[in-house]
A and B are shown apart, each in its own frame.
Chain A
Amino acid sequence: MSEKQLLKVEHVTMRFGGLVAVDDVSFDAGDRAITAVIGPNGAGKTTLFNCLTGFYKPTVGRLLLTTADGGEHLLERMDGYRIPQVARVARTFQNIRLFPRMSVLENLLIAQHNKLMRASGFTVLGLFGLPIYRHAESKAVDLARYWLERIGLVDRADDDAGTLPYGDQRRLEIARAMCTEPCLLCLDEPAAGLNPRETDELNQLLVFIRDHEKIGLLLIEHDMAVVMKISDHVIVLDHGAKISDGTPDAVKNDPAVIRAYLGAEEDEELPPEVASDLVSIAPGAIGGTH
């Protein structure tokens, strides 16, 4: 990869008692690039994400984030909430975590909490409605409106987030993460449960974020239509260890990946979902039928 490295993951290991969920994984994620982490269920993808975003502390290893302005942050040493606040790493969740009983706009404003908190003089100035705070709030609303227009939800801005259709909730969660103005956006299965049209819209949104917001994206995904189409760099995990790393095409044809997805012995009777995955990952794997 020719781009500047944004995130360096070095020898990260996460143990839960005797279970090794992530085993000595190292990789780089580029700035202004989409890096996908794939792997069979239970491969440790989400655990890796949780280490990265401060929900777990890795047992071993280093997570170095180098921002565009040259700031360096060791994520494994930071408190969970400081990672988005200081290192500007935002994330979404596999099971959507919006604030369901708050409006869409409120969801986007909460994402700008720290900025607004400072502007409101830690509540004291805001309590008396000083213009500094009002100005900051209207700018925050402008940012929220920008992202609402991006995801086509301006009309629903005042509705409760929990009342949105599933696909809209997914996109709102991404918009909310973007409102924190991150330099790295981590997406945990953003296409889960989306129909093909919504998946297409998601792809466009992610490519837009990479090209116009000029930030790095890291995504966990099962949907190969997303991974193969938009990612610049793919990392494959299996049983907690990295087994492959490279461009989508290189990974597709890596025998280790095919083995991980299909098992060591190539059986002719594959479950249909595995077979369809396989066709998109490795066209040559099933007797050259593709």
Chain B
Amino acid sequence: MQNEKIRSFPEMVKDAVIVGAVSAALALPLVGFKTVDRTTQIELEFRFGEMFYAVAVIAIGRLLLSLTAAGKARAVLFITAPLSILGLLEYAFELVPMEWPELAGLTWLAATIIAIRAWVFTRRDKAADDAVARATAGLPVAAVVTLFSRFGKFLGPAAAAFAILMPFLPFADQRMVDIGILILTYIMLGWGLNVVVGLAGLLDLGYVAFYAVGAYAYALLSLEVGLNFWEALPLAGACAATFGILLGFPVLRLRGDYLAIVTLGFGEMIRLVLLNGPDFGLLANGAKGIGDIPRPSFFGMEFTAAPKPGAVAFSDYFGLDFSPIQRVIYLYYIILLLAFITNWFTLRIRKLPIGRAWEALREDEIACRALGINPRNTKLTAFAIGAMFAGFAGSFFATRQGFISPESFNFMESAVILAIVVLGGMGSQVGVVLAAIVLIGGPEWFRDLAAFRMLAFGGLMVAVMVWRPQGLLAHREPTIKLARSPRETPVAVSVREKAT
């Protein structure tokens, strides 16, 4: 089963020593020295103790991994699993004060990874013994995903119902609703980018540019022209779509890595232009950003305790006590509505000729041309529609924050949105939701983990790459199924399927 050779114990020790030596060489400059900023000068401190500890962890870990592969998985599991659990308990209850918390964390991390690996191996051995289990053998992740796809039909509506009721559930405080807004914004961006990347297969690393265009368009339209949120929203979307087409034209002939680089450049260009503040109304603010962006109103009613003369406040009209959460909940429902529209639109368009043409273009552009599909128009519509949704989301972002500056639209945002699409499984709507909850909600909820937050994030990404390289939910349903003609009875079909 394992493609690695089973080695003798001395060989493993030798291997572990070599690995230790290599890591020592790497760790010496990285961990061994530390510069300390003293008042007069920068001084060098030595951290050889820590360094040797880390190298020892790596060497022992390597030895344990070799043992795992050599069939001693259970024994390794017995050593590492208690360590891992102990580490968790330690973290939760702070049993003993520790001198080197980073190193304790490192040990815990190593023990946990090895324990997981050993556990996978014990499962694998078991599966090899048991021929029946082999068919279903696999990883827990896979099992969960199978479960998801089996109940996928109910998952969507259930999630939608939860999303609608969320602000009124007992545990929902303002912070929860705020995180909900953030997650929904990224879900919407993910769904929008899914059109470009997931369906049309155009790797777009500058998606945040359209988000920025939408946000700035809304800011200008509301502050300079005086439109309210609902009037400005479609215009901001149209503006972003125009930029989508503008970007689309020069990159029509590019694909794959080349397209990614150009879109990356485009994303940065928009940010830099905004940063430099072109002389166009409020855009001249540049890095200072634009503030005092109007909040959305509910049929003309503001969410405020002290309405302007002549205006009616939402809370007064409905006879409620003013509370800031009312505005947050209203924002939550706006983004929920926008996200639902995005979802409805993309689900629908996937079943239309243009949606199928996008997917065909992703699969084989040359074949598309041979079938008379105009690749230029097809690509441009994908860019435009993806950009339009980013524009809507950008408007929402601007109205929610009340303040926008170029710094909100850096490359990291594009990367996160792309990560959501890829992690969720290209083209999968539910996958995007799951990935957005994990990638956006996770770091927000686990802020207490402090420095380990990003480590956990990275570990998660690696885990997904190993176990679900196609994304969490990569299953693709055909957009149309052939209705069987009467003479093709289901029995006959199933018999024939068995025969083949």
Q: Give the interface of A toward B (CB within 8 A).
A: 53-55, 80-86, 90-91, 93, 97-103, 105-106, 109-111, 113-114, 116-117, 120, 122-123, 126-127, 133, 137, 141, 144-145, 148, 154-155, 157-158, 176-177, 180
A-B contacts, 9 of them at CB < 8 A, read A81-B368, A85-B372, A101-B359, A102-B356, A103-B480, A105-B482, A127-B348, A141-B480, A157-B482
Q: Is residue B370 contacting chain A, with contact meaning CB distance below 8 A?
A: yes
B366 touches A126 (CB 8 A): no
Q: Which of B363, B371, B493 has the most CB of A within 10 A?
A: B371
- Interface pair B482/A113, CB less than 8 Å apart: no
Q: Are B349 and A81 in contact (CB under 8 A)?
A: no
B window 220-269: CB within 8 A of A? none
Contact A90 B370 (CB under 8 A): yes
- Provide the bound-state CA to CA distance between A123 and B353, in Å: 8
Q: Look across to chain A and name the residue whose beta carbon is closest to the beta carbon of B363.
A: A99
Chain A residue with the shortest CB-CB distance to B366: A97
CB neighbours of B370 from chain A (8 A) = 53, 84, 90-91, 93, 97, 177
**Min distance, Cβ A112 to any Cβ of chain B, angstroms:** 8
B369 within 8 A of A: yes
Q: Which residues of B contact A176 (CB under 8 A)?
A: 371
A51: min CB distance to chain B, Å: 14
Question: Which residues from chain B contact A116 at a C-beta distance below 8 Å?
Answer: 353
Residue picked from A55, A86, A127, most chain B C-beta under 10 Å: A127
Residues in A whose Cβ lies below 8 Å from that of B367: 93, 97-99
Question: Which residues of B sit under 8 angstroms from A145, Cβ to Cβ?
Answer: 482, 485
Q: Tell me the minimal C-beta distance from B457 to chain A in angstroms.
A: 29
CB contacts (< 8 Å) of A101 on chain B: these are: 359, 363, 476
Contact A155 B353 (CB under 8 A): no
Once the chains bind, are B369 and A54 in contact (CB under 8 Å)?
yes
Q: Is B129 an interface residue (CB 8 A)?
A: no
Known: A110-B371, A176-B371. A158 touches B478 (CB 8 A): yes
A182 to chain B, nearest CB (A): 9
B481 at the interface (CB under 8 A from A): yes
Question: How many angstroms from the CA of A4 to the CA of B472 in the assembled complex?
Answer: 57
Give Cα A85–Cα B478 distance, bound, in whole angstroms: 25
Which of these, A81, A84, A86, A109, contacts B356 with CB under 8 Å? Answer: A109
Is the Cβ of A113 less than 8 Å from the Cβ of B353?
Answer: yes
Q: Is the CB of A99 within 8 A of B364?
A: yes
- State in angstroms the CA–CA spacing of A39 and B142 once bound together: 52
Contact, CB under 8 Å: A158 / B481: yes
Out of B353, B364, B374, which one reaches A81, CB within 8 Å?
A: B374
B352 touches A126 (CB 8 A): yes
- Which residues in B have their C-beta under 8 angstroms from that of A154? 482, 488
